[in-house]
Chains A and B, each alone.
Chain A
Amino acid sequence: MFSQSVIHDVITAALATGGDFAEVFVEDRFTNSLALQSGKIESSLSGRDYGIGIRVFKGLQSVYAYTTDGSKEGLLKAAGNAAQAIRGEKIIQPAQLQKEIIPAGHPISLNPREVEKLRKVDVMKKAYEIAKNYHSSIQQVTVRYLDEEQNVLIANSEGKFVEDRRVRSRLAIQSIAAEGNQMQPGFYGPGAHKGFEFMENLNLEHYANEASRIAVTMLGADPCPSGKFPVIIDNEFGGVIFHEACGHGLEATSVAKENSVFANRIGEKVASDVVTYIDDGTLANEWGSITIDDEGEKARKNVLIENGILKGYLIDKFGGRRMGMASTGSGRRQSYRFAPTSRMTNTYIANGKSTPEEIVSNTEYGIYTKYMGGGQVNTTTGDYNFAVMEAYLVKDGKIGKPLKGATLIGNGPKTLQLVDMVGNNLDHGAGMCGSQSGSIPVNVGQPMIRVSEMTVGGTKGGE
């Protein structure tokens, strides 16, 4: 993308006013996104994002400048703009750049850029037909297809010079079931750090049928009761609860300034004994996986909580400065338009010992959530909320009637202590996570778990 000598000059310019660290991030990204509605392709977009981000640190000050101007002059101008924010004399010379060759951690066998769009359209139409034909009450199906190839170059004043190619593919199916005035959606959005081979091997029957089954089931569901109940959260995307309740609070973004409820608590018991929580960017070809992060650090497996004890945080370079800790390979960003910060990759609760059957049969009365929607957390207070896509009443150890319109609210640190059973059926689900450095692909995961008490906000009122 750029020669080492150009990058060296840019880093030197960025350090001219006394910065003690400088970094260049170059991105050239090709994307295709298609949308199919009512059986017809409604939009097909292709594009190329291209830009450069330059970051300079001086102590606990961070400056970021970005531009779409890829000429050497453009880069030097952006470096100058960044340097301008720091007032002082030059204090360091950049180290000599050393090109690092990192073997691709997530091999791609079929680059989507080399695949005819017609084949992509075929996959979408197949998914549409399956979802549409699931049931007569399915009124509408939307299928979205996305692929991207992101090429990055990351170099810094410590001598790092590394390139990476990230290829991702995702298919999102939304079904809407309708009857009278009632409309209910169902959604499934599998994705991977893979090329078009992901689409070719995808079990379309499963995902498209599930999206429609959720919508149809919820159409016939009763309004969810409100109140405090034991809640069983099923595996895979159910892990979004810990992503919100705990994961965000372990990011340096909030820990470094001691704003997080988890700050300064390494070694303390923050969760019940059955909880082990891990962030692992190295899982082969998963949606949230990375070979290197957006600061050029190798992906790794970070154990955050082990048997209830807080073991570590997710740390980027800048957050690490304030904390006096090293990067954990967690610096990520949506694009060159964002400075990186500490983020999750594939985060999950490790398997426990209970079988899903044991968890259900040991629950006298409560709520079972099969699929979760999205959520949000306030990392300062730890208060979180999230929507339930598909829920059921549990009575006398059996899963009963479906319930719609449930929202779960609670406080992260408290909920962690109330996890009383962890299943043995760990699985992962794909999602997009939005935070300071933009929207990035992450996996959430867990086996089935039970929380002894959660507040359920439903449309039916108190019970």
Chain B
Amino acid sequence: MNLQEFKEKLFQLGGQHGFTDMELYYEREEKFACELFKGVIDSYDTSEVFGTSFRGLYEGRMGYAFTEKLDEESLSFLIENAKENSQFIEDEVQEEIFAGSDKYESGSYYSSSLAEVTIHEKINLLKEIEKHIYAYDERVTGTDYFMLRSGETERVLLNSKGLNLSEKNNHAGIYVSVIVKQGDQVKNGEYSKFTRDFSILNPEEIAKHAVEEALSQLNARSAESKNYPVLLRNDAASALLQTYNSIFSAENTQKGQSALKGKTGEVIAAASLNIADDPFLEEGLLSSNFDSEGVATARKDIVKDGRLVTLMHNRKTAQKDGVESTGNAYKASYKGALTVAPTNLYVNPSNQSYDELVSSLSEGIIITELSGLHSGANTVSGDFSIAANGFYVKDGNVQNAVNQMTIAGNFYELLKNIEAIGSDLEFSMGFMATGYIGSPSLLIRELAVTVE
């Protein structure tokens, strides 16, 4: 059964069962991933999948169900389950099916030149990068992962109020982790780059980044455990913001899971901090013209000169707070319930280079990598104690890599303790991330550092 036919049958069956308003959300994905290990294609994945979810209003309550099979059995499965599911929903504000915004931007986030890049060209790029990786330094012994992923996604939103929206986007990315060995020391260095412009993936630069990252971890030493000024390098800063971006979600303030409740208009950060959510960034991987409930997306300042300008909303959270949706409705996939998430969210860069920030430290720690963010960061209280790697700095110069550390503090306080912001804005995207998050390097007045 094709989508149109499935939708018509579904809405008809839904109507017969007493659903008043209905929505069908459809997602189709084509993906390619390839891993290279010492010249040999070690894994090669290709896929074409789709899924649909049904959302419908039954006796004033919203019921959900999803399926990956467009057949007769799925029609009744969706309707019966959505109906049963709707009966338990007790929220005081109910979701509604949205008739549509007045106007939508028409940006295109699909690159046809990227779509034309052949698998052969992709594999050649990996081979080129690998050649440079092994040639760069004789201490390179291997890679623990080295892959290219590319994909395109098509989203379609159809509802019984006549809304019919669709959008396509695509991207490609390289992920690499290089292993280096010196004596009995083994270290690895990671690097990843995502883009919609395949031509910017420069093999030499990618190899250099990854190998340098690994080599820089060699000869690590211990350091005194105490409070230090900490320079969060751009990639570590964006990983931390990735973890904590949920504090800007109105859904979380309403659930008591963010301390920013009622703080709109108040100073919550250093005056130099500006954070924006921009769904129209040309290179933004999550750029989009409509959100997951069909609301037109919009660029917005979240934090301006240290003040909280707005939280991120979907229609339901907006109604609860008596404001308008900010176009941040989000579904983790077509399967999920509607929630709230950023699109491309980033800290505005300032004018100091990374090197200038390093030289400004009389004594401090640079953090280049954070791990265990999913468990060591409490997004409710803001407290974190996270494993980290990085360098010791004395008199403005990097002295040495530091053994595995933990940095501990509180994210809400960290926002207020930002002393300087770099010019080196970089975006990152975790494997299971919500939001495409960017940050320049951030100098933090003080964090508790414990060194192994």
Enumerate chain B residues within 8 angstroms of A257, measured Cβ to Cβ: 37, 142, 144
Query: Provided the pairs A48-B68, A117-B85, A386-B375 are in contact, do residues A380 and B387 lie with their beta carbons within 8 angstroms?
Result: no
When the two chains form their complex, are residues A185 and B380 in contact, meaning their CB atoms are under 8 A apart?
yes
Contacts of B408 in A (CB 8 A): 226, 405, 407, 457-459
Compute how far the CA of A85 lies from the CA of B452 in the bound complex, rounded to whole angstroms: 46
Q: How many residues of B contact A (CB 8 A)?
A: 75
Interface residues on A, range: 35 or more
Q: Is A385 within 8 A of B387, CB to CB?
A: yes
| Contact A409 B452, beta carbon cutoff 8 Å | yes
B374, CB-defined interface residue at 8 Å:
yes
Interface of B, helix, strand, loop or mixed by DSSP: strand
Is the Cβ of B41 less than 8 Å from the Cβ of A85? yes
How far apart are the CA atoms of A40 and B372 in the complex, in Å? 32
Q: Chain A residues near B90: list those with CB within 8 A.
A: 40-42
Of A60, A121, A387, A411, which contacts B372 at CB under 8 A?
A387
Bound-complex Cα distance A339 to B43 (A): 9
Please, how many angstroms separate the alpha-carbon atoms of A393 and B84 in the complex? 49
Closest to B37 in A: A257
B371: chain A residues at CB < 8 Å are 376, 378, 385
Residues of B within 8 A of A103 (CB): none
Give A178 to B42 CA distance when docked, in angstroms.
50
Task: Indicate if B47 sits at the interface (CB-CB under 8 A).
Answer: yes
What are the interface flags for A252-271 relative to B under an 8 Å C-beta threshold, 1 for contact and 0 otherwise?
A: 00100111010000000000
Partner of B44, one of A44, A50, A61: A61
> Do B69 and A68 have beta carbons less than 8 Å apart?
yes
Instruction: Identify the stretch in B48-56, B344-352, B435-443 within 8 Å (CB) of chain A at 4 or more residues.
Output: B48-56
B188-A459 in contact (CB<8A): no
Stretch at the interface among B58-66, B129-137, B302-310, B360-368: B58-66
| A66→B376 CA distance, assembly (Å) | 35
CB pair A374 B44 closer than 8 Å: no
**Docked CA distance A341–B63 (Å):** 36
* Centre residue among B64, B259, B383, B387 by max chain A CB count within 10 A: B387
Contact of A69 with B by CB under 8 A: yes
Contacts of A67 in B (CB 8 A): 47-49
Knowing A42-B91, A45-B85, A254-B144 are in contact, say whether A387-B376 is a contact too (CB < 8 A): yes
- Of residues 302 to 352 in B, which have CB atoms within 8 Å of A's CB atoms? 335-337
Bound complex: CA of A183 vs CA of B451, how far in Å? 27
Closest-CB distance, B145 to chain A (whole angstroms): 8
B406 on interface, CB distance cutoff 8 Å: yes
Contacting residue for B374 out of A81, A376, A381, CB 8 A: A376
For residue A42, which residues in chain B have a CB less than 8 angstroms away from its CB? Answer: 89-91
Taking CB atoms, residues of chain A closer than 8 Å to B450 are 226-227, 409, 455-458, 462
Task: Assess the B386–A407 pair: CB atoms within 8 A.
Answer: yes
- A406 B385 Cβ-Cβ under 8 A: yes
How far does the alpha carbon of A48 sit from the alpha carbon of B371 in the complex, in Å?
Answer: 34
Contact B88 A34 (CB under 8 A): yes
With a cutoff of 8 Å between Cβ atoms, the chain B residues found around residue A410 in the complex are 404, 452
B46 at the interface (CB under 8 A from A): yes
Which of A65, A140, A380, A406 has the most CB atoms of chain B within a 10 A radius of its CB?
A: A380
Assembled-state Cα–Cα distance A259/B89 (Å): 49
- Report chain B residues within 8 Å CB of A405: 383, 385, 408
Q: Enumerate chain B residues within 8 angstroms of A50, measured Cβ to Cβ.
A: 67-69
Tell me whether B381 is interfacial, beta carbon within 8 Å: yes
Q: Which of A57-82 contact B (CB under 8 A)?
A: 60-70, 78, 81-82
Residue on A with the closest CB to B47? Answer: A66
Render B67-105 as a binary contact track against A, CB cut-off 8 A, 1 for contact.
111000010010001101111111100000000000000
How many angstroms between the C-alpha atoms of A61 and B42 in the bound complex? 5
Q: Complex: how many Å from CA A231 to CA B67?
A: 48
For B8-51 the 0/1 string (1 means CB < 8 A from A) is 00000000000000000000000000000100111111111111
Closest residue of B by beta carbon distance from A58: B41
| CB < 8 Å neighbour of A337 from B43, B47, B337 | B47
If the complex has contacts A42-B91, A259-B144, A407-B385, are A183 and B380 also in contact, measured as CB distance less than 8 A? yes
- A residues near B (Cβ < 8 Å) are 34-35, 37-38, 40-51, 60-70, 78, 81-82, 85, 117-118, 121, 139-140, 176, 178, 181-185, 224, 226-227, 254, 257-259, 261, 337, 339, 373-376, 378-381, 383-387, 404-407, 409-411, 434, 455-462
29 of the cross-chain contacts (CB-CB < 8 Å) are: A37-B255, A38-B255, A41-B89, A43-B64, A62-B43, A64-B43, A66-B49, A117-B84, A118-B88, A139-B256, A140-B255, A176-B380, A184-B378, A184-B380, A226-B406, A257-B142, A259-B142, A337-B47, A380-B177, A385-B404, A385-B406, A455-B404, A455-B450, A457-B385, A457-B408, A457-B448, A458-B448, A459-B448, A460-B448
- Other contacts beyond A62-B42, A139-B256: 5, CB < 8 A: A67-B48, A184-B381, A376-B372, A380-B144, A409-B452
- Sorted from nearest, which 7 A-B pairs have the closest CB atoms? A457-B406, A385-B387, A374-B375, A46-B81, A44-B85, A40-B90, A47-B66
